[in-house]
Amino acid sequence: MTLSPPRDKSMPHIPVMVEEVLSYLNINPAGIYVDGTVGAGGHTIQILNQLNGEGSLIGFDRDHEALAIAKKTIPISSRVSLNCASYHTLPDFLEKHGSNLVNGILLDLGLSSMQLDDEKRGFSFSKKGLLDMRFDQNSDRGASTIINHSSEQELADIMYHFGEERLSRRIAKSIVKQRPIADVEGLFEAIRTATPPQNRNKTLARVFQAFRIAVNGELEKLDHFLSSFIDTLAIGGRIVIMSYHSLEDRRVKHIFRALKRDGRLNVLNKKPVMAQQDEMDTNPRARSAKLRAAERIK
Ligand SMILES: C[S@@+](CC[C@H](N)C(=O)[O-])C[C@H]1O[C@@H](n2cnc3c(N)ncnc32)[C@H](O)[C@@H]1O
C-alpha cells in the first residue's frame, strides 16, 4: 500500500513524522505492534495499514474522549485492542493476556491538538476554561487542586522542575497572592503580573506545561515505561519515541544509551530525527518533535 502522510487540516490532530515513524518501525506485517499514545489514531491507522491478517495492534490512551474519536476511524477487529490506560501498563497487559513479545512500540508523547483546542480541558493559556489539564478524566486531581492547595515552595518546584521556568519563585508568590484561582484566565493573570512582557508567551507555555506534567504524573509514567519496555520487545523489535520537550527527550536518550552499553539495544539514530521543513511549515506541532528509535538486539 502506498502511504502519503495525512496533511488534512480538518483532522482533529495531524500525526507527526508518519513516514519516519513507519520507516524506523520497519514493520513486520504479521507482527504485534503497540501504539502507546493513540490520540486521534493517525499513527495507529498507518501502522494497521501495514499489517496483514496475522498482525495485531495494541493501543493505549489515558483519555477516553480521544479513544472515542479514534474508534470512529480505526477499523475495530479481533486484531485491534484499544485500551483506556497508560502505556506504562504494557507489561501487565501482555502478562494478563498471555501475549507474546511485541515487534514494535510507538510513543508520541505529550498532548494532541484536539486536547489543546478543547476549552473545557484547560490545557491552553490562550483559551478560556477551567483549570483541569487531566488526560484521564476519571483521575481525581485536576490542575485547580494543585494550584490552589500546594504550598508556595511546591508550586515553585513544579514550575522549575517540570517547566524549567527561571521565574518560578516569583510566579509562585503571585499565584498564592491571587488564590483562589478558578480558571485559565486567573492563572494567566497571576503569571502576567509576575513576569516581564518580553517572551511572556514562552513563560506561559512553560508554566502550563509544568502543571500539566504534574497533574498527569507524566515523567513518572515515562520513567516507569523506560525502565521496563525492553523486556516486552522481541529481539529485532523496534521502539520509536517522539518527544516534544527536553525533559522527555533527555530521559529517552539516557535510557537508550544505558541499554546500548548493556548490549541490549542498537540505537538507530545518534541525534534525534527532526521533521522535514515542509512538514514543520504545515504542522506547527512538528517543529518541536524529536524522534529517537532503537532495536532490541539481546
Ligand atoms: C501527541 S498525542 C498522540 C497523537 C497520535 N499519535 C495521533 O496521531 O493522533 C498524545 C496522546 O497521548 C496520550 N497520553 C499522554 N500520556 C499518556 C500515557 N501515560 N499513557 C497513554 N496515553 C497517554 C494523550 O492523552 C494524547 O492523546
Name the pTM for this structure: 0.95
d(CA 277, CA 169): 37
| Chain-centroid distance, C-alpha 297 | 26
Q: Taking 50 as the threshold, does the pLDDT of residue 7 lie above it?
A: no
Instruction: Give me the mean pLDDT over the 87-94 stretch.
Output: 98
Instruction: Give me the mean pLDDT over the 52-66 stretch.
Output: 97
pLDDT at 12: 80
Per-residue pLDDT reduced to its tens digit, 94-117: 999 998 899 999 999 999 999 999
Q: Where is pLDDT greater, at 162 or 4?
A: 162
* Contact call for residues 86 and 221 (beta carbons, < 8 A): yes
User: Domain 18-114+219-296 belongs to what architecture?
Assistant: 3-Layer(aba) Sandwich (3.40)
pLDDT at 189: 97
Q: Taking 90 as the threshold, does the pLDDT of residue 272 lie above it?
A: yes
Indicate if ligand 1 lies below 6 Å from the C-beta of 28: no
Q: Taking 70 as the threshold, does the pLDDT of residue 78 lie above it?
A: yes
Q: Taking 60 as the threshold, does the pLDDT of residue 75 lie above it?
A: yes
Beta strands 32-35 and 56-61 are: parallel
What phi and psi values does residue 249 have, to the nearest 5 degrees?
Answer: -60, -40
Q: Taking 60 as the threshold, does the pLDDT of residue 9 lie above it?
A: no
Instruction: Give me the mean pLDDT over the 223-241 stretch.
Output: 98
In sequence order, what are the beta bridge partners of 283? Answer: none
d(CA 177, CA 68): 40
Q: Taking 70 as the threshold, does the pLDDT of residue 1 lie above it?
A: no
Q: Taking 60 as the threshold, does the pLDDT of residue 50 lie above it?
A: yes
Per-residue pLDDT reduced to its tens digit, 158-212: 999 999 999 999 999 999 999 999 999 999 999 999 999 999 999 999 999 999 9
Mutational pocket test of ligand 1: of 8, 58, 112, 215, the residue with most ligand atoms within 8 Å of the beta carbon = 112
Indicate if ligand 1 lies below 6 Å from the C-beta of 206: no
* Contact call for residues 242 and 275 (beta carbons, < 8 A): no
Indicate if ligand 1 lies below 6 Å from the C-beta of 61: yes
pLDDT at 10: 56
Instruction: Give me the mean pLDDT over the 140-146 stretch.
Output: 95
Ligand 1 centroid to 35 CA: how many Å? 9
Q: What is the share, in percent, of the chain residues with pLDDT greater than 70? A: 96
Instruction: Give me the mean pLDDT over the 22-50 stretch.
Output: 98
Task: From the options 3.30.465.10, 3.40.50.300, 1.10.150.170, 1.20.1600.10, give the CATH code of 120-216.
Answer: 1.10.150.170
Domains of the chain, residue spans = 18-114+219-296, 120-216
d(CA 142, CA 26): 39
pLDDT at 37: 98
Q: Taking 80 as the threshold, does the pLDDT of residue 8 lie above it?
A: no
Indicate if ligand 1 lies below 6 Å from the C-beta of 121: no
Q: What is the share, in percent, of the chain residues with pLDDT greater than 90? A: 93
> Which among 64, 26, 33 is positioned nearest to 48, based on CA atoms?
33
d(CA 37, CA 50): 18
Q: What's the mean pLDDT when you consider all of the chain? A: 95
Indicate if ligand 1 lies below 6 Å from the C-beta of 225: no
